[in-house]
Structure 1
Amino acid sequence: MEKLMVFIFLAAFLKPEVPDSPLSITVYVTGQQKGLIQLLVFDSPEGFPDQPQKAIRREAVKIENGKAFFHFKDLKKGEYAISAFHDQDGDGKMRKNIFGIPKDPYGFSNDVRNPFSPPTFQSAAIQLPKDGLAISFTLL
């Protein structure tokens, strides 16, 4: 009987480690009427906002009815920042002028904008809760 009581006590208070279940982010991007939207998802400041090789997810979607819809599955709970641009010529690259200023409309999660530089990861960061998240932002 004593062993049974110890087992019940341990079962009630010691919970096994359960790995985080996969989560998702749904992103709606507006602001353009035709073409492609290139979108990058980052889970750290490294490479944010414009280094696709350092993004954890990258996708291009055709604009339909003035919106592009993205859905990323199998993510872990945590902090993410998203960047996107209007890929007018479909080459997968943002066009920039000789000073490095984007020619193509672009945007970031939280609709964050800095007048003279790209936003920081922290300013664009969103928290992914356990039930997933849907966000939207506009390309300007």
Structure 2
Amino acid sequence: MEGLKKYLWFVLLLPVLSVHALDLEVEILNRKSKQSVIRCGIFISQDGFPSEEKKAVMRVLGVESNEQKTICNFKGLQSKLYAVSVLEDLNANGKMETTFVGFPKEPWGVSKDAPMHPFGPPTFDESAFFLKSNLNIQIKLNQ
């Protein structure tokens, strides 16, 4: 009887425990090179967004599923506000190459396809979305 009680509690609590484990699939569009490394980061604030990968709450490398599709999967996320940043690292050195004035030399993109500003990158607020259920989004890389 004791084992049955534990099983019933487990069955009753399972939906509550799994509510917070959400998945986000990010499809990266118009990749420039098959030899490049796709670096994806998910952020919960402006701190470090979009280029300081170390400040992302989760980072993944893109996994190519076929010749036309590159995917970054974020698993086990909580329901909250996020923004995603993507870099196509053409020379696989782990960082974005920029011009002497700071403009990107490598393809990049952010969630909601927020555009670059004349004097800086898109903000977290412009790129943020609320994750409340499993979600698939697309990010178009700027060339």
| AA aligned opposite 2:45 | S
State the partner residue of 1:7. none
Cα distance in structure 1, aligned partners of 2:63 and 2:22 = 24
Q: Per-residue displacement from partner, 1:101-129 (whole Å, max 9, x unpaired)?
A: 11001111001103312111010001101
The answer to whether the Cα contact below 8 Å between 1:28 and 1:68 also exists between their aligned partners in 2 is: yes
State the partner residue of 1:61. 62
The answer to whether the Cα contact below 8 Å between 2:43 and 2:57 also exists between their aligned partners in 1 is: yes
Cα distance in structure 2, aligned partners of 1:94 and 1:66 = 23
Cα distance in structure 2, aligned partners of 1:46 and 1:52 = 10
The answer to whether the Cα contact below 8 Å between 1:40 and 1:52 also exists between their aligned partners in 2 is: yes
Report 1:40-119 matches (<5 A).
Answer: 40-63=41-64, 64-116=66-118, 117-119=120-122
SS at match of 2:74: strand
| AA aligned opposite 1:121 | F
Cα distance in structure 2, aligned partners of 1:21 and 1:115 = 34
Per-residue deviation, 1:22: 1.1
Cα distance in structure 2, aligned partners of 1:24 and 1:62 = 15
Cα distance in structure 2, aligned partners of 1:102 and 1:114 = 10
| AA aligned opposite 1:39 | C
> What percent of counterpart residues are identical?
33
TM-score (structure 1 length as normaliser): 0.80
Q: Against the structure 1 CA distance between its residues 60 and 113, is the aligned structure 2 distance closer, same or farther, given a 3 Å change threshold?
A: same
Cα distance in structure 1, aligned partners of 2:63 and 2:91 = 12
SS at match of 2:125: helix
Greater C-alpha radius of gyration: 1
Residues 1:127 and 2:143 are matched in the alignment: no
CA RMSD, aligned part only?
1.6
Matched pairs, number:
122
State the partner residue of 2:38. 37
Structure 2 unmatched runs, 5+: 1-15
The answer to whether the Cα contact below 8 Å between 1:109 and 1:124 also exists between their aligned partners in 2 is: yes
Structure 1 stretches of 4+ with a deviation exceeding 3 A read none
Cα distance in structure 2, aligned partners of 1:46 and 1:98 = 23
Q: Per-residue displacement from partner, 1:64-113 (whole Å, max 9, x unpaired)?
A: 41331011111110100011111111111111111111100111100110
TM-score (structure 2 length as normaliser): 0.78
